[in-house]
Amino acid sequence: MNYDNENIFAKIIKGEIPSEKILETDFILAFNDISPKAKIHVLVIPKGKYIDIYDFNKNASREEILGFWEGVNETIQKLKLEELGFQIKIHKGESGGQEVFHFHIHILSND
Ligand code: AMP
């Protein structure tokens, strides 16, 4: 599968579709999931074009990988979830429940 430049998260990065932004850095964008499964349900995506976690881990630079996980922690702080705890979900592939083929993680509060 090739990366589709017109996927919904690519459009969010380009500003063609609005999002409820939580945080933006050079490397990531964090925004509210449009169909939340918990009180807090935020998606964090890298700005680079990666289809899924395997593609990201295999092909992203060290700088992008570090920048991504630093962005995840900044998002956690912004959501004030560092003490409360939370769940992180990652879907890979259609059979793994992935619907949008731009790598993303779900941060979900426990309520
Ligand atoms: P996944 O199943 O891991 O690919 O998750 C895709 C997620 O993207 C789902 O939880 C959707 O609710 C969410 N989603 C789809 N379109 C949008 C959008 N325009 N803005 C925010 N979240 C979205």
Atom of ligand 1 nearest to the CA of 104: 3
The rounded distance, in Å, linking the Cα atoms of 22 and 17 is 15
For position 80, what pLDDT does the model report?
97
For 35-84, what is each residue's pLDDT tens digit?
999 999 999 999 999 999 999 999 999 999 999 999 999 999 999 999 99
For position 67, what pLDDT does the model report?
98
For position 6, what pLDDT does the model report?
98
Domains for the chain: give ranges and CATH numbers.
8-109 (3.30.428.10)
Task: Find the radius of gyration of the CA atoms of the chain.
Answer: 13
For 79-102, what is each residue's pLDDT tens digit?
999 999 999 999 999 999 999 999
CA of residue 87 to ligand 1 center, whole Å:
16
DSSP code of residue 27: S
Q: Is 104 a catalytic residue?
A: yes
Q: Is the pTM of this model over 0.85?
A: yes
